[in-house]
Amino acid sequence: MARELLEGNVAFAEAAVRAGCEAYFGYPITPQTEALEHMSKRMPELGRVFLQAESEVAAINMVYGAACAGVRVMSSSSSPGISLMMEGLSYIAGSEVPVVLVDIMRGGPGLGNIAPSQGDYNQMVKGGGHGDYRPIVLAPATVQELIDLTVEAFDIAEKYRYLVVVLADGSLGQIMEPAELPPMRATRRPEERPSWSLTGANRRGPNIITSIYIDPVEEEKFNRKLMAKYAEIEANEVRWREQYTEDAEIVIVAFGTAGRVALSSIKAAREEGIRVGLFRPVSLYPYPFDRLRQMATQVKSMLVVEMNGGQMLYDVKLAVEGRVPVSFYGRMGGVVPLPDEILDEIRKLHHSLRVGG
């Protein structure tokens, strides 16, 4: 496959098609609507299912139904739409069906705006809906990563029979950059649907998919089963990227677009002789706590950069456990930080280390 100039929203939609996605249900919302539009054209021409739902509430419940039938299914939306899906996401987690969801985040709270934001970190990474669940959350920083993680999301969702969220922001959804799409995979044939799925009780007992356990003891037993699944996920699915960290005194911790902008600042700071590196979590759940904790023994200071008021910040502090000072720089409301702003923060930290040390 050749590299081509691709818009983020179209790229992840086409990546899903090539990963064997058999059904897409969604509702238009800026800044991810190009994904829905791409699916409206591509899915029918491949004989697959596209349906524009009457709301995000309906869309996620259509996804839930199709997932129960054992097909690869997804939706995509942006922050206010994702808020509406929270009920469905809790049911999906509580029913253990594989689902992929892409959240192209925008400014909030409320109607907010349509500019890039990372304000959904808490809502997505910590669960959002009711009950003890948290989706697997993958955070790309480039269109290529958005493609690769979307494809991977389908495999991970099926591996754990679980919900996988690709968490990106409006700038990544709207940006155009060179990237390579994967080859087309075949979709699953109807007779290959998983043994647990609802295909009609033909030559077997009925399959039942539910999230209700009326007896608290049974409900707790189910919760323990989920906990065991989370432990497995935490053991196998932690992902992160590091750049310039080998000799770093200062480490910037940032995910997605914030990490990408921070990298420019780090390169500029390096030219000034400041030893600063980037730690970019790619899986936000499971979070790379161990590596970050280890890093806290090697560096003198950490700076968390986010496009929100400081949400991932608490996970960094939890990882570091006070071993090094953790400072924060955030822009909110759809404002993307400029490399110079982050560079200034790096210089300030560098200066305080010199003065203090």
Partner 1 sequence: MATTGQVESLIYSRPESLTPTGTHYCPGCTHGIAHRLIAEVIDELGLREETIGVAPVGCAVFAYNYFNMDFAEAAHGRAPAMATGLKRVSPNKIVFTYQGDGDLASIGAGEILHVAGRGENITVFFINNAIYGMTGGQMAPTTLPGQHTTSTPLGRDVEVHGFPMRMCEILSQLDGSAFVVRRSLHDVANIRKAKKAIRQAIEAQRQGLGFTMVELLSSCPTNWGMTAEAALHWIEEHMIPMYPLGDYKIHPALVTAKD
Interface residue with partner 1, options 7, 14, 22, 148 (CB under 8 A)? 22
98 counts as binding partner 1 under rule CB under 8 A: no
Interface residue with partner 1, options 11, 16, 36, 63 (CB under 8 A)? 63
CA-based Rg of the chain, rounded to a whole angstrom? Answer: 21
Taking the least distance from each CB to partner 1, the nearer of 208 and 318 is 208
Alpha-carbon 98 to chain mean position: 15
44 counts as binding partner 1 under rule CB under 8 A: no
Q: How far is the CB of 162 from partner 1 (least distance, A)?
A: 17
d(C-alpha 219, C-alpha 304), whole Å? 38
Interface residue with partner 1, options 20, 28, 65, 339 (CB under 8 A)? 65
121 counts as binding partner 1 under rule CB under 8 A: no
200 counts as binding partner 1 under rule CB under 8 A: yes
Question: Regarding beta strands 49-52 and 23-26, do their DSSP bridges make them parallel or antiparallel, or are they unpaired?
Answer: parallel
Name the burial class of residue 64, with classes exposed (0-12), middle (13-18) and buried (19+) by CB atoms within 10 angstroms of its CB. Answer: buried
Q: How far is the CB of 250 from partner 1 (least distance, A)?
A: 47
Instruction: Mark 159-198 with x for binding to partner 1 (rule: CB under 8 A) and - for no binding.
Output: -------------------------------x-------x
Minimal CA–CA distance to 345: which of 246, 261, 247, 243?
261
Asked if residue 20 lies in contact with residue 68, where contact means CB atoms within 8 angstroms, the answer is: no
Q: How far is the CB of 132 from partner 1 (least distance, A)?
A: 17
Which stretch in 1-9, 63-71, 148-156, 219-227 sits in contact with partner 1 by CB under 8 A? 63-71
Taking the least distance from each CB to partner 1, the nearer of 64 and 160 is 64
Residue 270, token pair as written in the block: 């390096």
Q: How far is the CB of 31 from partner 1 (least distance, A)?
A: 25
61 counts as binding partner 1 under rule CB under 8 A: yes
46 counts as binding partner 1 under rule CB under 8 A: no
Interface residue with partner 1, options 21, 68, 74, 316 (CB under 8 A)? 68
Angle between helices 143-160 and 8-18 (to 10 degrees): 40
Which stretch in 33-41, 56-64, 138-146, 224-232 sits in contact with partner 1 by CB under 8 A? 56-64
Asked if residue 241 lies in contact with residue 221, where contact means CB atoms within 8 angstroms, the answer is: no
d(C-alpha 105, C-alpha 86), whole Å? 15
Taking the least distance from each CB to partner 1, the nearer of 49 and 335 is 49
346 counts as binding partner 1 under rule CB under 8 A: no
Interface residue with partner 1, options 66, 74, 151, 262 (CB under 8 A)? 66
Asked if residue 140 lies in contact with residue 257, where contact means CB atoms within 8 angstroms, the answer is: no
Interface residue with partner 1, options 19, 67, 156, 250 (CB under 8 A)? 67
The amino acid sitting at 45 is E
Residue 203, token pair as written in the block: 């030559």
Taking the least distance from each CB to partner 1, the nearer of 211 and 327 is 211
Minimal CA–CA distance to 106: which of 198, 34, 168, 190?
168
Task: Please enumerate in sequence order all residues whose Cβ is within 8 A of that of 344, keeping only pairs 6 or more positions apart, or say none.
Answer: none
> Which strand (E) or helix (H) includes residue 328?
strand 326-330
> Which strand (E) or helix (H) includes residue 102?
strand 99-105
Residue 288, token pair as written in the block: 């790379």
Longest alpha-carbon distance in the chain? 76
262 counts as binding partner 1 under rule CB under 8 A: no
Interface residue with partner 1, options 195, 210, 217, 356 (CB under 8 A)? 210
Binding site for partner 1 (CB under 8 A): 22-23, 25, 49, 51, 53-55, 57-59, 61-69, 71, 73, 87-88, 91, 95, 190, 198-203, 206-212
